[in-house]
Amino acid sequence: MKILKFGGKSLSFTGAFDHVISIIKNRAQKESIAVVVSAFGDTTDVLEKILEQAAKQENFTLLFETFKKQPQHKGIDLTHEFDFLQKIFEGVHLLGDYSLKIKDSVLAQGELISGKIVTKKLQEQAINAVFTDSRSLIITDNTFGNAQPIASVSRQKTIAHFSSLDKGTTAVVTGFIGATLHNETTTLGRNGSNYSAALLANYLEAEELQNYTHVDGIFTANPDWVSDAQKIERLHFNEANELANFGASILHAKTIVPLIEKNIPLRILNTFKPEENGTLISSEPTLSGIKSLSVLADVALINFEGRGLLGKAGVDARIFTALSEKNISVSVISQGSSERGLGFIVEKGRATEAVLALEKEFETDFYTRDVNHISIDDEVAVISIIGQDLSTFHKPYNALIQNKIIPILFNNTVTGRNVSIVVKKEATKKALNVIHGQIFGVSKKINLAIFGHGSVGGTLIDQILQNTENIETKKQLKLVVFAIANSRNLLLNEKGIGQEWENELSDNGKPYELQDVIRFAKEHHLENLIAIDNTSSAVFIHNYFPLIENGFDLISSNKAANTNTFDFYRQLRKSLKKNQRRYLYETTVGAGLPLIDTTRLLHLSGENITRIKGVFSGTLSYLFNHFSTEDKSFSTVLKEAIEKGFTEPDPREDLSGNDVGRKLLILARELELENEWEEVQIENLIPQAFQSIETSDFLRNLDVLDAHYAAVKETLQPHEVLRYIGELSGDLQKSKGILETKLAVVSADSALGQLKGSDSLFEIYTESYGDHPITIQGAGAGAKVTARGVFGDVLRLSEKQ
């Protein structure tokens, strides 16, 4: 025989009832089954509410009449139940009070009504169904509200009842309720219907207990909180037990015990997808490893501090005795070796009672100041990682720290496999997603906020969106662009902004402040945050600090942060270190070329870099490569460079030499030199008269540069070309180097003279490499290569997140 149990949610509306009937009918025609039913929908709550109203001597009639007229009740003779309830409510109204015994009698009507309806509907379908009031089967003690079954009597009565049924009869048994030896109605407490079903399975030695619920089975985490959660096919009883103890609402420890005792598998099924296999819980061994994450949300952390208790014996015993006298159960405990403090988790609703009990127990210790503090923090939740042992716990733990979620305490089971972490309630969803992503190897979500969507930023967004699937398949990284902003408007979407981002931003973008982005990330519990600065703004860089403080790693193509004052540079590093954030900016020197990484690694590995020299600017490379050898005016070539996207948003940054100066300063600071911007000696290529006019005027009148550069070109000898060069030299072991940019005449045969297109060329001279510098050469500017470089930084950070 199999026991089929249907929960209240499976019976919550008329259509659902019909669904349940069709499942039972189908099964009853094929095999021997018994059915256990809960009260449907919120019946139990409604009955309790009417009882409360009556006890407060308020008018309960309206609510009761509404209850009676529920559509499910139609066509069923419930006169007995309604009359009974009416009498009790009137009595309670008169007395203004009720006992637990009365409450049990009232609540029991929910299951009785449900059982009657299911039986009648089955009979209407020509199924030989008999209504079975479980008060005649499950005999309990008289702990009303949480009665304990008397196994020997209940087993004997249950077996006798089922033996008396004709073959082919389907018993529809009320869950949740029992009766004392004196025939008083009792209820079995939380999860009572599941318990009834498990008891029945045990007494009748059923083949399987099938629990029809409103979910597909047990998941690796609550799918409402973790969208990537996966259904678990099989669980061992022990794992299910841990899950039940730590918050899985469809399981309850006491319902598993009768099944373990008789080795009866439990299958969790979805009433609305009866063809699926659900989750099977049995004694069969399952693959080892982490199975699931569960959450206890309705809890409080009690913090007991007693400085004077150091080394005193029996303190823990006193704490737990005081709690057990109040029947308060403790789930997670953490104690320091000094015994000065003890933190533990209790049910939220019992926290105050727990503190009062402890204050009473330790009253004299308060006077002697041996105990100084007992406090409650009820803004916490417990996340349990079922199947986790300490050998790999560093992975989820590090992921939490990386996401600025600092566990308040954690503990593990010594023999079993379960680690529980107490976190701030507000961080629960984010913590669950972080741990889940880390443990279950499903794609790790990386949430990107992109500031600036011009040539580089816009190209980057397109590159990311075009490669999202590919990266997810190859790297198990799910890149989600949740924010795109320019200097005026912001577009947000926690699920990820798509290919239509430009239209969406112009249609739906809203004026914003940085805090809006930070708040949004918090409100949506977004993990693994990266902010990308693709602006050229010297103002935006001040946003780096709040971003860092709020858990964002940083990437920039913007050179402003690293070329601000050395004090700013140092403060930024300090903040990064303090908040354990990373900052990558590979494209700020040489666009997509690996300049920063190479220089940093050489320096870190102790290689003495003596000089860095080269053509640092893609724009100026293009300009002089073409101008030196082609019969074109300076302004014509300059316009080509602008059109090709090599120049800075303000091309005067290139022509002034500032852009090269910035790159030199960034590299110098990688070598731990403390130069300031003012110390960079820069040759400005813009004639004095045009240096301070409006950008637009300048761009309209580029040809004013032609005469000057034509004259410069005239002075060149055959085989000579112009190159704009940057050089970092001096004693680079000291705190400051010599940083210089200048327009130079070089031989067309030299390495610099042979440069083509917009190629940059960097020569890194070191002690070990002597006169043969490490040379890095390639496209030094352009939106595509730069965006690709920024993308590289995104992947570098994501893999380490």
Ligand X SMILES: N[C@@H](CC=O)C(=O)O
Contacts with ligand NDP by CB under 6 A lie at 451-457, 485-488, 534-537, 539-540, 557-559, 587, 591, 618, 645-646, 648-649, 781-783, 786
- DSSP, collapsed to helix, strand or coil, labels residue 711 as helix
Nearest to 113 by CA among 151, 72, 148, 145: 72
Count of other CB atoms within 10 angstroms of residue 468: 17
One residue of 3, 34, 342, 591 binding ligand X per CB under 6 A: 591
Q: Both tokens of residue 570?
A: 């140092």
Query: What does DSSP assign to residue 60?
Result: -
AA identity, residue 381: A
Q: Is-contact 590 489, C-beta < 8 A?
A: no
Q: Is-contact 253 244, C-beta < 8 A?
A: yes
C-beta of 788: minimal distance to ligand NDP in Å?
11
For ligand NDP, which is the closer residue by CB, 42 or 502?
A: 502
One residue of 242, 365, 659, 670 binding ligand X per CB under 6 A: 659
* Residue 487: contacted member of ligand X, ligand NDP, none (CB under 5 to 8 Å, by partner type): ligand NDP
Q: Is-contact 628 610, C-beta < 8 A?
A: no
* Residue 109: contacted member of ligand X, ligand NDP, none (CB under 5 to 8 Å, by partner type): none
Residue at shortest CB range from ligand NDP: 454
One residue of 255, 271, 563, 619 binding ligand X per CB under 6 A: 619
Nearest to 732 by CA among 772, 657, 773, 674: 674
* Residue 617: contacted member of ligand X, ligand NDP, none (CB under 5 to 8 Å, by partner type): ligand X
For ligand NDP, which is the closer residue by CB, 189 or 454?
A: 454
Report how far residue 433's alpha carbon sits from residue 396's, in angstroms, rounded to the nearest whole number. 10
If binding is defined by CB under 6 A, does position 206 make contact with ligand X? no
For ligand NDP, which is the closer residue by CB, 400 or 450?
A: 450
Give how far the C-alpha of residue 16 lies from the chain's centroid of Cα atoms, to the nearest Å: 33
Quote the strand ranges of 452-558, DSSP E.
477-485, 489-492, 510-511, 529-533, 552-556
Question: Which parts of 579-617 fold into alpha helices (H)?
Answer: 595-604
Point out the catalytic residue in the list 663, 713, 742, 784: 663
Stretch binding ligand X (CB under 6 A), from 10-18, 35-43, 281-289, 644-652? 644-652
C-beta of 781: minimal distance to ligand X in Å?
4
If binding is defined by CB under 6 A, does position 332 make contact with ligand X? no
For ligand X, which is the closer residue by CB, 402 or 647?
A: 647
709 membership: H or E segment, kind and range: helix 706-714
C-beta of 556: minimal distance to ligand X in Å?
12
One residue of 344, 362, 627, 646 binding ligand X per CB under 6 A: 646
AA identity, residue 141: D
Burial class (CB in 10 A: 0-12, 13-18, 19+), 371: buried
Q: Both tokens of residue 313?
A: 């014996």
* Residue 255: contacted member of ligand X, ligand NDP, none (CB under 5 to 8 Å, by partner type): none
- The number of residues in the chain equals 801
Instruction: Render 128-176 in DSSP notation, one character per residue.
Output: -EEEE-GGGT-EE-S-TTSPPB-HHHHHHHHHHHHHHSPTT-EEEEESS
Report how far residue 215's alpha carbon sits from residue 228's, in angstroms, rounded to the nearest whole number. 15
- DSSP, collapsed to helix, strand or coil, labels residue 596 as helix
For ligand NDP, which is the closer residue by CB, 188 or 531?
A: 531
* Residue 454: contacted member of ligand X, ligand NDP, none (CB under 5 to 8 Å, by partner type): ligand NDP
C-beta of 619: minimal distance to ligand X in Å?
3
One residue of 104, 242, 648, 740 binding ligand X per CB under 6 A: 648
Stretch binding ligand X (CB under 6 A), from 178-186, 279-287, 647-655, 742-750? 647-655
- Residue 474 annotated in active site: no
C-beta of 744: minimal distance to ligand X in Å?
17
- DSSP, collapsed to helix, strand or coil, labels residue 791 as helix
If binding is defined by CB under 6 A, does position 685 make contact with ligand X? no
* Residue 236: contacted member of ligand X, ligand NDP, none (CB under 5 to 8 Å, by partner type): none
Report how far residue 637's alpha carbon sits from residue 706's, in angstroms, rounded to the nearest whole number. 10
If binding is defined by CB under 6 A, does position 617 make contact with ligand X? yes
C-beta of 645: minimal distance to ligand X in Å?
9
Residue at shortest CB range from ligand X: 619
For ligand X, which is the closer residue by CB, 292 or 617?
A: 617
For ligand X, which is the closer residue by CB, 365 or 727?
A: 727
For ligand NDP, which is the closer residue by CB, 215 or 589?
A: 589
* Residue 534: contacted member of ligand X, ligand NDP, none (CB under 5 to 8 Å, by partner type): ligand NDP
* Residue 535: contacted member of ligand NDP, ligand X, none (CB under 5 to 8 Å, by partner type): ligand NDP
Pattern 733-772, ligand X, x by CB under 6 A: ----------------------------------------
For ligand X, which is the closer residue by CB, 237 or 585?
A: 585
Report how far residue 4's alpha carbon sits from residue 27's, in angstroms, rounded to the nearest whole number. 10
Query: What does DSSP assign to residue 702?
Result: G
> Footprint of ligand X on residues 768-787 (CB under 6 A)?
780-781
Report how far residue 422's alpha carbon sits from residue 418's, in angstroms, rounded to the nearest whole number. 13
Q: Helix, strand, coil % (nearest 5) of the chain?
A: 45, 20, 35
C-beta of 658: minimal distance to ligand X in Å?
10
Rg (CA), the chain: 37
For ligand X, which is the closer residue by CB, 171 or 667?
A: 667
* Residue 324: contacted member of ligand X, ligand NDP, none (CB under 5 to 8 Å, by partner type): none
If binding is defined by CB under 6 A, does position 654 make contact with ligand X? yes
Q: Both tokens of residue 747?
A: 């031989």
* Residue 539: contacted member of ligand X, ligand NDP, none (CB under 5 to 8 Å, by partner type): ligand NDP
Q: Is-contact 165 171, C-beta < 8 A?
A: yes
For ligand NDP, which is the closer residue by CB, 280 or 555?
A: 555
AA identity, residue 647: T
Instruction: Render 718-764 in DSSP notation, one character per residue.
Output: TTEEEEEEEEEES-TTSS--EEEEEEEEEETTSTTTT--TTEEEEEE
* Residue 282: contacted member of ligand NDP, ligand X, none (CB under 5 to 8 Å, by partner type): none
For CA atoms 339, 343, 346, 352, the dihedral sign is positive
AA identity, residue 655: L
Give the binding site for ligand X (CB under 6 A): 591, 617-619, 646-648, 654, 659, 780-781
Instruction: List, by residue number, the catalytic residues.
Output: 663
